[in-house]
Structure 1
Amino acid sequence: MAAEVTSLEALPGEEVSGDLTPYGGVAADAAWREEVLRLAERHDAVILAHNYQRPEIQEIAHSVGDSLGLCKIAAECDSGTIVFCGVHFMAETAKILAPDKRVIIPDARAGCSLADSITAAQLRAWKAEHPGAVVVSYVNTTAEVKAETDICCTSSNAVEVVRSIPADREVLFCPDQFLGAHVKRETGRDNLHVWAGECHVHAGINGPELAEQAAADPDADLFVHPECGCATSALYLAGEGIVPREQVRILSTGAMLDAARETKARSVLVATEVGMLHQLRKAAPGVDFRAVNERASCRYMKMITPAALLRALRDGVDEVHVDPEVAARARASVRRMITIGRPGGGE
């Protein structure tokens, strides 16, 4: 390729801030695409991309989806190397489910504010305060937290997972407070305790924004991720009849795609990270999908640039490692979730 990866060089329009500046200097052109696919074939690598990735990364990936769905592909595919275009906990989960495969994330600095909102030490201390409680952790957590967890969950099956726990058992739900509030609403459990964590991007999508846009387009469907700060507002709009109840959908990313293919609405207001719009528009090109908050872009997700992906395949970096003992305990909590049912839908 003519272009070379420039370490820590911002792409046009990127905000530059310390050591989180994305790798730049490479355009997502035909030559880049040809080289990436050539290197992937040479290294027996499958490229997996999360729904929140840049459109050019989604377009070159062998598979696009939610984190758990992609991790299941990683575990089941024949490729010896997994290149996970997402944030770090996702690549860790792929390694947990595919311990014998090489897992690479194009930029190991791509973290997650939600996963960082609880540590294994904090979870152990919380468990000590509630002996005998069942710990339910969202898949958006580190391997160490999963290892301290009884059952993992996704946004699509969190309610089902909690309902599977005997009613007289205390439940500790972490780390997302908005998803936890949704689960508590749906289950009506008074003995469910929710950790006060959040995804800074989803938390920033607020109720007034949603209400204003819904008023301006009263016929639009509302697709709202349960991690959003506006999820309660969406249910209020439906409950008060301001927006017809059938137009308000609280959905995981995977469920949003299913709903997009089925909607009869001409327009849909989407409350989640803006990268999701690319897959929604592909799923239903005749529908006008619009972000409730156009600024809801995760800079960590967007650190996976064309340059970073090329670097990963060319140099074999950054490889993800999980301590085998931690991985075994974490794997057990994920497998318990899968036995309950409906593990798809990811986050």
Structure 2
Amino acid sequence: MGRMNLKKKIEALKKDKNAVILAHYYQIPEIQEIADYVGDSLGLSQRAAETDADIIVFAGVHFMAETAKILNPSKKVLLPDLDAGCSLAESCPPDAFEAFVKSHPNHTVVTYVNCSAKVKALTDIVCTSSNALKIVESIPEDQPIIFAPDRNLGKYIMQKTGRDMLLWDGSCLVHEAFSMEKLLALHREYPDCKIIAHPESEEHILKTATYIGSTAGMIEYVKSHPKGKFIVATEAGILHKMQEEVPTAELIPAPAKEDNTCACSECAFMKMNTLQKLYDCLLNESPQIDVTKDIQEKALVPIERMLELSK
């Protein structure tokens, strides 16, 4: 089935079933083009919380679809490929995290949204890279904090706030794949390019950046410098939306350590979703994401706290 044909069929099914398609900036361009909303984790959580669709098709990874299900327990939430996981979420197994939390009582537990529903259920408040600073700053200064699972984001927040937090040792493979050597060589080649980076990147990469922020924040920054030239240190999928929003900006993906086809950093999990899988999952209303009632109720509390603070 051709791409145009597939798109038409997806559009028809969507109307027929009162479905909404939510996609992350790291999805392939064809999926971003057909989505009702493309955003970062915070924007996607907000959209999931307010949708009146009967079916949510989440073109992203597992933890994102789970978050949508936690917010909409009575709706069908579909993920085009159940194997679309997340290296960061996997770096924080619920059992080990529960033991870690129990061994540090009296700490407020802040978890980055990139974690499983079971980990969210052990959390006091969830955050995303867009609002992590605001959320940590909302906690009284004398209150000890556990921050999980991303140690790079945690270190960045500690530097920004001067707070001492207990960090879980997790990270995202994509954001740790940037090569400092290649980045500096690229910058020498394009000295008038500014480096912009996601706070999940390692500290030495963040030190080179003119701007550090979430995917949505990076797009906004480029919008405010429409004639700018940028080396972009996050998953390369963001370049599609960035270029669409700011056609006059010059964008170069930050180089990865390994020599892959695009020589940039790509998330294999994000790229598992295809138009065909999207069509099939909407047609068959499967695979569905399920969260047990107990976990859903516990995980909803910290997510709602985050949404309340992010208004």
The Cα shift of 1:264 comes to: 4.7
Contact 1:65 1:254 in 2 (8 A): yes
Query: Which runs of structure 2 are paired with 1:11-30 in the superposition (5 Å)?
Result: 27=2, 29-30=3-4
Give the distance between the partners of 1:188 and 1:38, measured in 2 at CA: 52
Give the distance between the partners of 2:145 and 2:174, measured in 1 at CA: 26
Corresponding residue number in structure 2 for 1:282: 244
Q: Please give the per-residue CA displacement for 1:96-138, whole angstroms capped at 9, x wherever unaligned.
A: 1112211101111111110111122112111122110111100
Corresponding residue number in structure 1 for 2:171: 198
The Cα shift of 1:219 comes to: 1.6
Contact 1:207 1:234 in 2 (8 A): no
The Cα shift of 1:211 comes to: 2.1
Query: Is 1:58 the counterpart of 2:20 in the alignment?
Result: no
Contact 2:46 2:307 in 1 (8 A): no
SS in structure 2 at match of 1:203: coil
Give the distance between the partners of 1:131 and 1:334, measured in 2 at CA: 21
Q: Provide the TM-score with structure 2 as the length reference.
A: 0.94
The Cα shift of 1:221 comes to: 1.9
Corresponding residue number in structure 2 for 1:251: 213
Query: Is 1:268 the counterpart of 2:230 in the alignment?
Result: yes
Amino acid at match of 1:323: T
Corresponding residue number in structure 1 for 2:181: 208
Give the distance between the partners of 1:322 and 1:252, measured in 2 at CA: 27
Corresponding residue number in structure 2 for 1:241: none
Give the distance between the partners of 1:256 and 1:210, measured in 2 at CA: 18
Amino acid at match of 1:88: H
Q: Please give the per-residue CA displacement for 1:272-319, whole angstroms capped at 9, x wherever unaligned.
A: 001000000011001111100233111111110111111111111111
Contact 1:205 1:296 in 2 (8 A): yes
Q: Identify the match of residue 278 of structure 2 among 288, 309, 325.
A: 309
Query: Is 1:43 the counterpart of 2:32 in the alignment?
Result: no
Structure 1 pair 299/87, CA: closer, same or farther in 2 (3 Å)?
Answer: same
Q: Identify the match of residue 160 of structure 1 among 131, 134, 140.
A: 134
Structure 1 pair 216/234, CA: closer, same or farther in 2 (3 Å)?
Answer: farther
Corresponding residue number in structure 1 for 2:160: 186
Contact 1:115 1:175 in 2 (8 A): yes
Corresponding residue number in structure 1 for 2:112: 138
Q: After TM superposition, which residue ranges in structure 1, 4 or more long, deviate above 6 angstroms?
A: none
SS in structure 1 at match of 2:49: helix
- How many residue pairs align between the two structures? 304
Query: Which runs of structure 2 are paired with 1:77-116 in the superposition (5 Å)?
Result: 77-116=51-90
Q: Provide the TM-score with structure 1 as the length reference.
A: 0.84
Give the distance between the partners of 1:300 and 1:234, measured in 2 at CA: 24
